[in-house]
Amino acid sequence: MSDHSERPSGIGPGYQFDTKYYADKSPEPCPWAKDTPPFKRYGNPIAEIELPEPETTGGAGLWETIARRRSQRRFKDEPMSLATLSQLLWATQGITGSEDGSRFRATGSAGALYPNETYLVLNNVEGVGPGIAHYNVRGHSLALIHEGPLGQACADACLGQRFCATCQVVFAWGAVVSRSAQKYGDRCYRYLYLDAGHIGGQLQLACVALGLGSVNIGAFFDDEVNKLFGLDGVEETVVYLTAVGHTAGR
Ligand SMILES: Cc1cc2nc3c(=O)[nH]c(=O)nc-3n(C[C@H](O)[C@H](O)[C@H](O)COP(=O)(O)O)c2cc1C
């Protein structure tokens, strides 16, 4: 039987200890977790943009797509179509099935809770932006929540990584902590990041399949990035981003 009597020192070992499952000990309940709706919806956005229907058949072959995946950090200055953006959103968080009242999405999620909300920094997308939008999963639409160019602010918030300003769109995933914590307690801090990793990985493959370039971003100033999307960094906090666009090479 594993020993769970003594918490090790250090933030890493301490985190592993606090979030472990044991056969003979239930995870601590989360006293601060609250009932959280499964979908986030902005009440009065600047605009609500319907997205074109995504393709759900055909597309590039999987093995070739995997073989061609490489991070791309240089982008051409030309707009991305709304149809392309729609396809990427569907490929990452689109609803692909339902069963007994639950809706399932393009990537898996611990407990099918889908805690990560999708935000976009729209630098150069046909017919929308520049600005910041939130993906309304249920309606497959965008809520424009800020108007004005923020690509450079995003680059600054991502440790000066310039491609955030030169790409067509930056995807950012904000984890609604309570949505997962209400079931998993502190163990949710494992699942929020694992879920986001799946989403970012799938986005990169979808990009390759569409002839686009992308690079995942784990290096960012948390407070600055959260501020960009109006998140408090505690109840909801950005865990991962990906810059996407028309590639001009690596
Ligand atoms: C979790 C994670 C975080 C990353 N963060 C960054 C980043 O902040 N900036 C960057 O330029 N690349 C970032 N990358 C991309 C890696 O540098 C890249 O995946 C790695 O060099 C392997 O190259 P490849 O993706 O072309 O195969 C990140 C990748 C992952 C998976």
Is 42 contained in some domain? no
- Provide the whole-model pTM: 0.96
Write out pLDDT tens, residues 83-97: 999 999 999 999 999
- Specify whether the CB–CB gap between 246 and 208 falls below 8 A: no
Separation CA 14–CA 189 (nearest Å): 13
Q: Determine if ligand 1 sits within 6 Å of the CB of residue 70.
A: yes
Is 176 contained in some domain? yes
Is 201 contained in some domain? yes
- Please, what is the average pLDDT of the chain? 95
Question: 45 CA distance to ligand 1 centroid (A)?
Answer: 33
pLDDT at 27: 66
Is 199 contained in some domain? yes
Query: What CATH number is attached to the domain comprising 228?
Result: 3.40.109.10
Q: Is the pLDDT of residue 3 over 70?
A: no
Is 91 contained in some domain? yes
Q: Determine if ligand 1 sits within 6 Å of the CB of residue 219.
A: yes
Separation CA 10–CA 210 (nearest Å): 44
Radius of gyration over alpha carbons of the chain, in Å? Answer: 19
Is 144 contained in some domain? yes
Number of domains comprising the chain: 1
Domain that holds residue 165: 61-245
Which residue has the CA at smallest separation from atom 31 of ligand 1? Answer: 216
Is 27 contained in some domain? no
Is 4 contained in some domain? no
